[in-house]
Amino acid sequence: MSEKVLLDTDIGSDIDDAVCLAYLLAQPRCQLLGITTVSGQVEERARLASALCTHAGREIPIFPGAEAPLLGPQRQPKAPQAQALARWKHQRQFPRGQAIEFLRQTIRANPGEVTLLAIGPLTNVALLFAVDAEVPRLLKGLVLMCGVFARHRSPLVEWNAGCDPHATAIVYRAPVLRHRSIGLDVTLQVQLETARVREKFQVTPLRPVLDFAEVWFGNNAAITFHDPLAATTLFDEQICSFTSGRVDIELSGERVAGLTHWAPGPQPAPHEVALHVDPERFFDHYFSVFR
């Protein structure tokens, strides 16, 4: 049975967004209804998404969303991987100012059927929930690559949560039927070093991703599959195990704004977080869609 998915992404910064989108385009059970982009240079991010869709032979609606956080400084003003766009066919013009309304209308047209997969800062999602307070209840589910839930020696603010902490707080307060988070403590367990990525990404659907990744490899020696891990949980319930409880977001203090405070609790609970992952099962599942 297919899953109706909306993807909200900051593709163009960390390479894992492109790795995630390539998976969704190749996943036969994914009915990708549309893509919205978020954070600095949203049009460049839309072009990167378009390049992957075009390469896959898919026409997916793409809408540039919010460039700046709700409050505070912009921590992610550029989309560095856009320098690879000249080598790949892509759409150049996109509707502006329509991303939130596109999400709203799509969810309202498919009540109880759409999973919103958000793998960037949560500005677009917060704006959506603020514009239409009924939308969270109309979602089948909300899946986030966001947060840290297994505590370490010192507080650690995950990037997506910290880029727009006030948006993060709005999203975690929303009354979504199934509100799942895959956090940094789990995603750090699924990594491939550069040489292994170059070997595994030779299949045709992943070639533009590998080209984008060469920009990433200028400053990084591996890919961590943060966002693809979140995506695969939509199609294989055994990759991660989830625990119910409550997530609250720290908003005071410049260094810890966006910190996720996690407390497990009995049902009914507003949130589910991934605390365990099967890395071997994840990689087998991820690469199986490209065979």
Q: Give yes or no for a contact between 180 and 216, defined as CB atoms under 8 angstroms apart.
A: no
Has residue 58 got a pLDDT over 90? Answer: yes
Identify the band that residue 1 occupies on the pLDDT scale cut at 50, 70 and 90.
confident
Identify the band that residue 291 occupies on the pLDDT scale cut at 50, 70 and 90.
confident
- In whole angstroms, give the CA distance from residue 222 to residue 194: 5
- Range 207-225 average pLDDT: 95
pTM above 0.95, yes or no: yes
- What's the pLDDT score for residue 215? 92
Identify the band that residue 187 occupies on the pLDDT scale cut at 50, 70 and 90.
very high
Identify the band that residue 153 occupies on the pLDDT scale cut at 50, 70 and 90.
very low
- What's the pLDDT score for residue 255? 81
Which range is least confidently modeled, 41-55, 117-131, 144-158? 144-158
Has residue 75 got a pLDDT over 70? Answer: yes
Helices (H), the chain: 16-26, 42-55, 99-109, 123-131, 135-138, 159-163, 165-173, 184-187, 194-200, 207-216, 226-232, 279-288
Q: Give yes or no for a contact between 249 and 161, defined as CB atoms under 8 angstroms apart.
A: yes
- Chain centre distance of CA 131: 21
Identify the band that residue 254 occupies on the pLDDT scale cut at 50, 70 and 90.
confident
Has residue 141 got a pLDDT over 80? Answer: yes
User: Which of these, 188, 195, 214, lies nearest to 18 by C-alpha position?
Assistant: 214
User: Which of these, 128, 129, 139, lies nearest to 99 by C-alpha position?
Assistant: 128
- Range 44-69 average pLDDT: 98
- Range 135-160 average pLDDT: 88
- In whole angstroms, give the CA distance from residue 19 to residue 40: 20
Has residue 34 got a pLDDT over 80? Answer: yes
Mean pLDDT, all residues of the chain:
95
- What's the pLDDT score for residue 33? 98
- In whole angstroms, give the CA distance from residue 49 to residue 173: 29
User: Which of these, 58, 7, 21, 31, lies nearest to 213 by C-alpha position?
Assistant: 21
User: Which of these, 143, 149, 206, lies nearest to 183 by C-alpha position?
Assistant: 149
- Chain centre distance of CA 29: 18
- What's the pLDDT score for residue 122? 98
Identify the band that residue 152 occupies on the pLDDT scale cut at 50, 70 and 90.
low
Question: Which two tokens mark 51?
Answer: 């390049």
The CA-based angle 285-61-165, given to 5 degrees, is: 75
Residue carrying the six token digits 């407390």 = 263
Residue carrying the six token digits 């810890």 = 256
- In whole angstroms, give the CA distance from residue 121 to residue 13: 12
In the chain, count of helices (H) and strands (E)? 12, 11
User: Which of these, 188, 88, 102, lies nearest to 147 by C-alpha position?
Assistant: 188
Question: Which two tokens mark 57?
Answer: 């032979």
DSSP per-residue codes, 18-78? HHHHHHHHH-TTEEEEEEEE-SSSHHHHHHHHHHHHHHTT----EEE---S-SSS--S---
255 or 210: whose pLDDT is higher?
210
The CATH code of domain 3-288 reads 3.90.245.10
- What's the pLDDT score for residue 238? 97
